[in-house]
């Protein structure tokens, strides 16, 4: 009877561990879903900003296409041009990406208004699988000792 109870306990532990893995750490688990929702909200904000900017530029373009006086006014305003001036355009330098320093301390993330950094999902999965493996080995050895004592 003790052996069947130990087997049931072991299978129940395996079931709950695998259920936790698939619900939290799986490909469609809560961690991945929250990361996707965060990136989706950032993308929606970018889309709204770009749509607003696009509408403003389209309105400005319509004004400049229809009205020659507005076109001349814009040219004089931004380029200080007269009617007989020639425009020479140079290539704009490519923007350099900022190099963010990697800090050893995670205290910056604890400031108000900032989320805690989330480690990559592969790292979480690795630690979870190794923890569960050691837990199963410990339970198996404990149950094996009890079986040998009986």
* Domain positions in the chain: 24-84, 120-149
pLDDT for the residue 48: 93
The alpha carbon dihedral of 37, 43, 47, 53 has a sign of positive
Q: Tens digits of per-residue pLDDT, 13-49?
A: 888 888 888 888 888 888 888 888 899 999 999 999 9
pLDDT for the residue 99: 64
113 pLDDT higher than 60: no
Across the chain, mean pLDDT equals 75
Burial (Cβ within 10 Å: 0-12, 13-18, ≥19) of residue 136? middle
Q: Which residue has the higher pLDDT, 104 or 46?
A: 46
| Closest to 121 in 3D by CA, of 24, 46, 43, 40 | 24
């Amino acid at each position: 009877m003790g052996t069947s109870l130990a087997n049931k306990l072991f299978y129940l532990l395996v079931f709950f561990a695998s259920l936790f893995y698939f619900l939290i750490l799986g490909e469609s688990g809560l961690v991945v879903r929250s990361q996707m929702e965060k990136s989706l909200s950032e993308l929606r904000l970018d889309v709204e900003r770009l749509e607003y900017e696009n509408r403003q530029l389209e309105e400005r373009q319509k004004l400049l296409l229809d009205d020659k006086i507005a076109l001349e006014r814009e040219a004089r305003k931004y380029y200080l041009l007269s009617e007989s001036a020639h425009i020479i355009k140079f290539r704009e330098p490519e923007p350099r990406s900022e190099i963010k320093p990697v800090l050893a301390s995670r205290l910056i993330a604890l400031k108000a208004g900032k989320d805690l950094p989330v480690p990559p999902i592969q790292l979480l999965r690795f630690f979870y699988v190794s923890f569960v493996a050691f837990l199963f080995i410990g339970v198996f050895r404990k149950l094996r000792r009890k079986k040998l004592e009986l």
